[in-house]
Amino acid sequence: MRLPRVLLSACSSGSGKTLITCGLLQALKNRRIKTAAFKCGPDYIDPMFHEKVIGTGSANLDTFFTSPECVRYLLAENAAGCDLAVIEGVMGYYDGIAGVTQTASAYDLACVTETPVILLVNSAGMSGSLAACVKGFLEYEKDSRIRGVIFNQMSAMLYPRIKALVEERTGVRVLGYVPRVEECALDSRHLGLVLPQEIFALREKLDRLAHILEETLDIDGILALAREAAELHKPEDPLEIFLEGIHEKPAEKEPDRGAQVRIGVASDAAFCFFYKDNFRLLRGMGAQLVPFSPLADTVLPEDIDGLLLYGGYPELHAAELETNIRMRESIRSALAQGMPCMAECGGFMYLHEEMEDMEGRLHEMTGVIKGRAFRTERLSRFGYVTLQKHEKDVYGEVPAHEFHYFDSTNCGQAFSAKKPAGNRQWECMHADGRLLAGFPHLYYYGNPAVPWEFLKQCACYKKERAGRSV
């Protein structure tokens, strides 16, 4: 398929990738160009900002979680019917696993997807040295895939001279600049940017930024660069490959696939960290997803066969979660009766007997897991891990990701988590009966056996409920 595409990366974190990506997406939307948005890596929050702009879900592309073929499939699938794909990079362009590799870096993703790259360079405090900076990034790899440069925090007066210098000394195209736009800045908190709905007048900020970028960026040049991307060959659906490899009845491989179960998905301001493609895979396996709010609803949705509690910011809403006693009792009762549940990070914290808020105050939670979730002064565990279950393993290796300022007196010991580089590892996760819970975040395309086994348990629970009601 022909898919014009471009990846926006930077020399380092904090260079303005998300702000400029969102401004460009808004400018493209204003031009009525149907654009698909993506985020390199496991981040949850940046895609929320993309979604606010384009009006539909932004997807993650991660070369640690999935194979190159799966990455290309998800790029093609999520961009189907679009005129253009814009991918936001992660950290610095060459920053990968363990800090000294390029695995899972933005550069790695650009190579896997054959995507032209625009390097965003924060020019604050530099002038002529910008040419040296750009030249270094261009020459660090034989084919850096960097085809354009945008300068952030640059004045209109300086830009023409720097553009001429950089193009003369490096040969790369300079595609514009972004002036200081402090009125459009995005605020941060302990897990990254604040959520889009928390930013006052976000729509007005994005509209103003898009108007500025129309004046300062060569958007026609960016579109021309995107059209230079190689033809994208869409591999076979990874779900079909997975189903062909398991020994199930043929009927269970049809589109309505087997389980036909209803899964309650916690979804509100406290539980809001979702991978769009996790939902795609669950639906492809036959699940119907039913959103509910542990903050606002008093009981679980009727007639559900399983429960998903994803991450988010329960620590910011601990008092409200505690006050909603009926919901806590509803969840505790459902799990006690055998309802399957997968919970990760914030959802895992919610299942504890107690959880601290950001000020260290204790609040009662659902009480499904004995112990207390408490705040730490720094990141407890950070980055990619590989999970391996100790007993009765039906999963094999499971790629995962952790990023949290909280810990637990009862993290679980069903799995061993190992860093992909080095020897560091630790015990984690609860796998008690039909409960799978812990701090690691899972990307289901990384190992479809995890959601498949969960849905099989949900189907069993559905049959048990039906038997009890007869």
Q: What residues are labeled active site? A: 345
Alpha-carbon distance of 154 to 138, in angstroms, equals 21
Q: Which of 177, 160, 157, 176 is nearest to 168 (CA)?
A: 160
Q: What is the largest CA-CA distance in the chain?
A: 80
Structure tokens at 468: 């009890």
* Cβ-Cβ contacts under 8 Å for 242 (sequence gap 6 or more): 448, 449, 452
Q: At what angle do helices 45-54 and 17-30 cross, to 10 degrees?
A: 20
Measured between alpha carbons, how far is residue 92 from residues 15, 40, 103, 141, 441 in Å?
Answer: 9, 11, 13, 14, 23
